[in-house]
Structure 1
Amino acid sequence: MDHELDSSYLDALTGVRSGKHSFYPEYVRSAERLERAVGALDRISRALVRTGEGPRALVEAVVRAAAEHVQAEWLLFAVADGALRAARPRFLLLAGETLIDDERLFPIEAREHLRVLRSRPWEADEPTPGVVRVSMTLDSEPVGGIAARPAPGMDAATDLAVLRVLANQAAVALHNSFLVHATMQLRGRTEQLSEAAEQQARDLAARNAELQETQRRLIEAMQRQALDDERHRIARELHDSVTQDVLSAGMMIEICRSELAAPGADPDVVSGKLTEAKGLTQHAVERLRAAIYALHHADSEPSGTLPVLLERLSTVHLPTELKVSVDVAGEPVALPGEAEHSLLRITGEALFNTVMHTNAARALIRLVYRGDHIRLSISDDGDGDPAQLRKMLRLSSATDLAGAHRGLANMRTRVEELGGTLSIRRARLGGIMLVLEVPLPLKEMRAAG
């Protein structure tokens, strides 16, 4: 490496070539040179340990150590243009006790040496009367040098060797100092970036938590809305049917009163009509009970999965003559809120049709999760005719139907929006079974009105 002293440098530093007593005067001079060289090397080592204080402190220490060694009137340290690009300062002059880094303030003599060291460091060792110059090398490449006007009586060989050692070691130390400070800056920047990344991660986690909470509330709201829509629809339709039952019962009672007032009224006929009126009023009471239940539980229920929502939906249709049960098979999967809404509306429509248009006592909702699709069926034990419903469903595509058959058309539309199919068949319970098959995964969709 450049900082290692070769044998020629050692010879120049010590000057000892013989140990014979006849050479004692030379020995004394060599000892003095050796002591001076040791002192110089000590100053060099003390200068070079300033690496950690930064490039500026290192250059100043090198300049002072070199100037002290040769008792220089002035001493110039310079880095060649294009070399050690990050080194700062690029040059420094010590004149007396003053450090100068402004070229305009340099003595004229020093300016020429600065030009040589910055542009042609490989010529730095060329002798100049009264001035010494040495190259500064790093990895065997010249990167600058030192020029000085030493005090008279300088030992050229020894002092030049010391300057060369100092210059070469200064190049290494200057490069290392830059690396140390660059590393410290990078470490500081890394710590800042790490702290910023951690803060960003915390912010993202907080925002994600807020987003999840918002999404949870939206899903709850959509689920409640689905149940509320079904309850309100049932309440409106029950209102119409209850009104019809009450009016029919009232008319029947008025007829009975008229017949009782007429001479020769048949009590058995009047009794039969009163029994029919009683049935109408009882039927109206049961419908009202279901409507009141639906409206009463509109806001108090928490959200849940589709199976849970189906369980709750089944309780909306609770007139005394219909018992609804729910059966779930397979591993439940999360569905988009709009899809759950549609499935709930379809199920509610089917149950309401069962209540209003059949004499069913039992209904079964069965939800089956499979790998690539879900299967939802609603069956009953009523007296409905699957063939007649299929016929009416086919006609609904070309004709504007009303009532239960319009409801069937709405259900089919919702299923098709989910990418699935709707079929009508005979249930094992004996009545109607509606079967929905919808592929998985379900895409986001706009809920049907």
Structure 2
Amino acid sequence: MTANDYLGALTGVRSGKRSYYPEYVRTAERLERAVGALDRISRALVRTGEGPRALVEAVVRAAADHVQADWLLFALADGALRAARPRFLLLAGENLVEDERLFPPDALAHLRILRTRPWEAGEPAGSGVRVPMTLDCEPVGGIAARPAAGMEVADTDLAVLRVLANQAAVALHNSFLVHATMRLRGRTEQLSEAAEQQARDLAARNAELQETQRRLIGVMQRQALDDERHRIARELHDSVTQDVLSAGMMIEICRSDLTEPDADLAAVREKLTEAKALTRHAVERLRAAIYALHHNESEPPGSLPVLLERLSTVHLPTDLEVGVTVLGEPVPLPGEAEHSLLRITGEALFNTVMHTNATRARIRLRYLPDRIRLSISDDGDGDPGQLRRTLRLASATNLAGTHRGLANMRARTEELGGTLAIRRSRIGGIQVLLEIPLPLEAG
């Protein structure tokens, strides 16, 4: 191989000695232009972060400068890179034009081909040059230009335009992804801030709701105790009035008997003893009523065991001892459920006070995993069989007045999904037994 052959392989120049230097000079100029073009390409493509338009403008100027174009057109095919903007841009001199109505006729012909048939970019329309722009081996548009008069466009120049076009397609796609990510990030931050604010608002509303519920439950608990006190006061008023009137009548009879010359002093003494018993009974019931009315809404709310302890003090005649026993781990209950359980317990204790001679009453509350068991027992002389018959009769005939409380107790129990039974207690009297399933939902 001759020296010229080695030199031709290195430079791409194959000529004799007389033409060697001019060809070398032209080749060196092309290489220098290619290096300059690559530099312009790199400077254009690093503007991806500035947004799609800045990128397209930089590509158009770099390409036009490389081929010294009278005009240069950058265009995307219809349907390709749908989110990219602008879709086409013409550089004529120093002016950037987006309105196709202002395009030169030859540039408009290239635009139509690039928008509809970008794969035909190798076939110029009338004048100028055109190269395709591809992304993932698919044509997505191209670059067309009309070089200045006397400008010879070599294959290396077309290769530079293809590199610039293809890298522009990649950069446009990346620019869209970058800005989409930034928009999503901004939207995410806005949504996150809105969610945090909403969470704070919900926390505040929840705190207000919990406070309102706490107050409502407290009111309902106090109302249950107050209702029981008022009913006791009303019933005791009627019974005390009857006792006092009876005692007064017996005393009046004794006075009348004592005026007789042959009065039976033993009979008078017996009547006075009975009158004394009636007055003592009336005093005890008045004491219980006064105690019940004295403890009013100033009492703070509490759990069901605490409220049962308070309720046990409402029924407080001197001859009745009331005890409360709680077994298991207490669980919170809806206010309506606690209200019903308190009213049922109060009704049972009231019946014990009013209708038996009991000296002891026991309230037993047991928390089980799946239910609550509540029993109210006494050591009086009540008959459970008779009470069961009375309850059936009250439910069947809708009795008013006496023993209507038994039907109310069972109705409240059934509203909670539970059962009520009346049986003989272990301490000798009546036992009212409730079983309520858990969990209980607020009504």
Q: Normalised by the size of structure 1, how large is the TM-score?
A: 0.88
CA pair 443-212 structure 1, distance change in 2 beyond 3 A: closer
The SS at the match of 1:332 is coil
Task: Say whether the 8 Å CA contact 2:68–2:151 is kept in structure 1.
Answer: no
What is the aligned partner in structure 1 of residue 379 from structure 2?
A: 381
Which stretch shows the higher mean deviation, 147-156 or 233-242?
A: 147-156
The letter for the 2-side match of 1:375 is R
Q: CA deviation at 1:14?
A: 6.9
1:27 aligns with 2:24: yes
Q: CA deviation at 1:53?
A: 0.6
The equivalences for 1:277-288 within 5 A come to 277-288=275-286
Q: CA deviation at 1:264?
A: 4.5
Selected match of 2:34 from 29, 34, 37: 37
CA pair 212-62 structure 1, distance change in 2 beyond 3 A: same
What is the aligned partner in structure 1 of residue 131 from structure 2?
A: 134
Which stretch shows the higher mean deviation, 410-419 or 176-185?
A: 410-419
CA pair 15-174 structure 1, distance change in 2 beyond 3 A: farther
1:232 aligns with 2:230: yes
What is the aligned partner in structure 1 of residue 106 from structure 2?
A: 109
Which stretch shows the higher mean deviation, 287-296 or 383-392?
A: 383-392
Which stretch shows the higher mean deviation, 323-332 or 390-399?
A: 390-399
CA pair 51-26 structure 1, distance change in 2 beyond 3 A: same
Task: Say whether the 8 Å CA contact 1:47–1:58 is kept in structure 2.
Answer: yes
The Cα offsets for residues 95-151 of structure 1, whole Å up to 9 and x where unpaired, read as 111110001111222111111111121112224565111111112221111111112
Task: Say whether the 8 Å CA contact 1:130–1:150 is kept in structure 2.
Answer: no
Selected match of 1:289 from 287, 290, 305: 287
What is the aligned partner in structure 2 of residue 341 from structure 1?
A: 339
1:193 aligns with 2:222: no
Stretches of structure 1 that go unaligned for 5 or more consecutive residues are 1-10
What is the aligned partner in structure 1 of residue 64 from structure 2?
A: 67
CA distance in 2, matches of 1:232, 1:18: 126
Q: CA RMSD in A?
A: 2.7
The equivalences for 1:367-406 within 5 A come to 367-398=365-396, 405-406=403-404
Q: CA deviation at 1:365?
A: 0.9
CA pair 275-197 structure 1, distance change in 2 beyond 3 A: same
What is the aligned partner in structure 2 of residue 317 from structure 1?
A: 315
The SS at the match of 1:368 is strand
Which stretch shows the higher mean deviation, 139-148 or 201-210?
A: 201-210
CA pair 154-377 structure 1, distance change in 2 beyond 3 A: same
Selected match of 2:437 from 431, 439, 444: 439
1:153 aligns with 2:154: no
Q: CA deviation at 1:444?
A: 5.5
What is the aligned partner in structure 1 of residue 426 from structure 2?
A: 428
The SS at the match of 1:81 is coil
CA distance in 1, matches of 2:82, 2:223: 70
CA distance in 2, matches of 1:17, 1:271: 157
Which stretch shows the higher mean deviation, 151-160 or 64-73?
A: 151-160
CA distance in 1, matches of 2:284, 2:220: 29
Task: Say whether the 8 Å CA contact 1:252–1:273 is kept in structure 2.
Answer: yes
The SS at the match of 1:334 is coil
Task: Say whether the 8 Å CA contact 1:339–1:418 is kept in structure 2.
Answer: yes
Sequence identity, in percent? 82
CA distance in 1, matches of 2:198, 2:154: 64
CA distance in 1, matches of 2:40, 2:173: 20
The letter for the 2-side match of 1:82 is G
CA distance in 2, matches of 1:381, 1:86: 88
CA distance in 2, matches of 1:125, 1:116: 11
Selected match of 1:328 from 326, 343, 350: 326
CA distance in 2, matches of 1:144, 1:380: 97
Selected match of 1:98 from 95, 99, 111: 95
Q: Normalised by the size of structure 2, how large is the TM-score?
A: 0.90
What is the aligned partner in structure 1 of residue 3 from structure 2?
A: none
CA pair 251-103 structure 1, distance change in 2 beyond 3 A: same
CA distance in 1, matches of 2:290, 2:424: 32
The letter for the 2-side match of 1:37 is A
The letter for the 2-side match of 1:358 is T
Task: Say whether the 8 Å CA contact 2:72–2:91 is kept in structure 1.
Answer: yes
What is the aligned partner in structure 2 of residue 217 from structure 1?
A: 215
Task: Say whether the 8 Å CA contact 1:14–1:33 is kept in structure 2.
Answer: no
Stretches of structure 2 that go unaligned for 5 or more consecutive residues are 1-7
CA distance in 2, matches of 1:236, 1:430: 29
The SS at the match of 2:377 is strand
CA distance in 1, matches of 2:417, 2:134: 78
The letter for the 1-side match of 2:105 is I
Selected match of 2:121 from 124, 134, 149: 124
Which stretch shows the higher mean deviation, 298-307 or 23-32?
A: 23-32
CA pair 86-360 structure 1, distance change in 2 beyond 3 A: same
1:248 aligns with 2:246: yes
The SS at the match of 2:81 is coil
CA pair 111-319 structure 1, distance change in 2 beyond 3 A: same
The letter for the 2-side match of 1:274 is L
Q: CA deviation at 1:52?
A: 0.7
Task: Say whether the 8 Å CA contact 1:364–1:379 is kept in structure 2.
Answer: yes
Q: CA deviation at 1:56?
A: 0.6
